[in-house]
Chains A and B, each alone.
Chain A
């Protein structure tokens, strides 16, 4: 009984040791929470079709989407993470979606869809697009309020490797006729993720702008901002290890490799017509 009283008195004395936080101390306190989601064992398929139809009646469709993903050796160990994180000084907080680190490339996507174009009185099936072993390594998305104007500011960073991307005009089950791009690599020129846009140092924005022709959908990437970074646009690179055409009864046409060693997007402004 005495021991219990002693413990309670010690606890009470430690409560007395608590002090109220000042405003400045309080403002520096942040909780750490967030949401993660893991596409472990994800797979989808079906006959769904998405069609875009212009006012003149021509159309573009994609259908029969199929996608599946292989998993990390430790299930649910490397999820997508969604967090609210502090923005750069003077800027709003940021919704940050971090892609899986996927350091060993164990999370691999297999995808396929069919597509076609309807125009000039003809509907042309274009066959299938088949993607094998697509690996995202790190990178992610950011969303926040724009520093100026309305809309949504966003950032995007990407490191993507694709084992093979094939345009198969006779369908996904017939790979004997195809234009094949093998070993596609998109990422930073330094080997890491390519920060195509960043909400602080080079923000992208999507909004509606008015000009002489009326409201227009607008997507842009602003000039790099030296207040929040180096003032230089990050350099990315694109490489394709091999491009070839295969056809039954014809020799394979091998166009070898292709690459762009460095790509810097310093400013981009896209205004869609209505």
Chain B
């Protein structure tokens, strides 16, 4: 019986010493130190409301480098009587993240904070809550993205330079139907979708901040991203928004190659 009691006594002493050491080392933080301390989660959430709709946003707090090729993308294949166009809201034959004919850095596209945002009406009432749709986007994207877009439903603006050095602009706001099932045709000194072989997203000040694709049953004005003007309202169906800091890669309509890096 004596031995266990001795062990318990020794253990108590060790624990007391440990507690003393710990309490002696811990110091209260000053206000300045406290203000410099912050925690961050892998995922962040936001609940907002705007224009009679309720939004719940889930953001993955991550930095992503990507090389990928997407081909034959047709989203929202249904009949749209006002202008059926190619029969789909988005008809993108090629979307490639990165390029293999440039520098090592150009091989990859840098993406920050991908997110999903869900849209409801009457979100607080479980009996009348209504699903309006959702969107997927990136809070920042920078790099070279090869693009061949046949039909666009969305709000997109890209600046370019003609062979003679004059400035060109592709802007879906010039479409009479507001960018729904737009083939990108334009007249005068403008950049058409068929001339667009890709974009450089972002500039020296940072990435492009308004890339998102929505899926909606009715038109919705999404909340505005920090530092940006209000986005155009998204129309019903599949809708692509991308206007911030986009420069055309070329006006030939040819996307650069994006082959894998050999190992």
Contact = CB atoms under 8 A, between A and B. Distances in A.
Interface of A: 52-56, 58-60, 117-120, 122, 124-127, 167-171, 177-179, 217, 222-227, 231-233, 243, 245, 247, 253-274
Given A56-B44, A232-B260, 15 more contacts: A52-B41, A54-B40, A54-B43, A54-B45, A124-B56, A170-B129, A231-B262, A259-B72, A259-B75, A260-B71, A264-B70, A267-B68, A268-B68, A269-B64, A270-B63
Contacts of B44: 54, 56, 58
Contact of A270 (B38, B47, B62, B75): B62
B42 A217 contact: yes
Contacts of B62: 270-273
10 contacts: A54-B39, A127-B129, A168-B131, A169-B123, A170-B129, A177-B131, A178-B131, A261-B74, A271-B63, A273-B61
B40 A260 contact: no
B146 interface: no
Contacts of B132: 245
The 9 closest A-B pairs by CB, nearest first: A55-B39, A261-B72, A256-B78, A54-B41, A245-B217, A262-B71, A169-B129, A267-B67, A266-B67
Contacts of A259: 72-75
B261 interface: yes
A260 B58 contact: no
Contact of A179 (B64, B128, B133): B133
Interface string B17-54: 00000000000000000000011111111111000001
Interface string B73-117: 111111100000000110000000010000000011000000000
B10 interface: no
A192 B86 CA distance: 29
A231 B262 CA distance: 7
Contacts of B126: 125, 127, 169-171
B127 interface: yes
Contacts of A256: 76-79, 88
B210 to A, nearest CB: 21
A272 B112 CA distance: 10
Contacts, number: 189
B65 A268 contact: yes
B45 A117 contact: yes
B260 A233 contact: yes
B80 to A, nearest CB: 10
B262 A226 contact: yes
A177 B126 CA distance: 11
B7 interface: no
A268 B217 CA distance: 33
B47 A120 contact: yes
B215 interface: yes
B54 A124 contact: yes
A155 B71 CA distance: 23
B212 interface: no
A70 to B, nearest CB: 28
B124 interface: yes
Nearest to A168: B131
B263 A260 contact: no
A224 B263 contact: yes
A266 B66 CA distance: 8
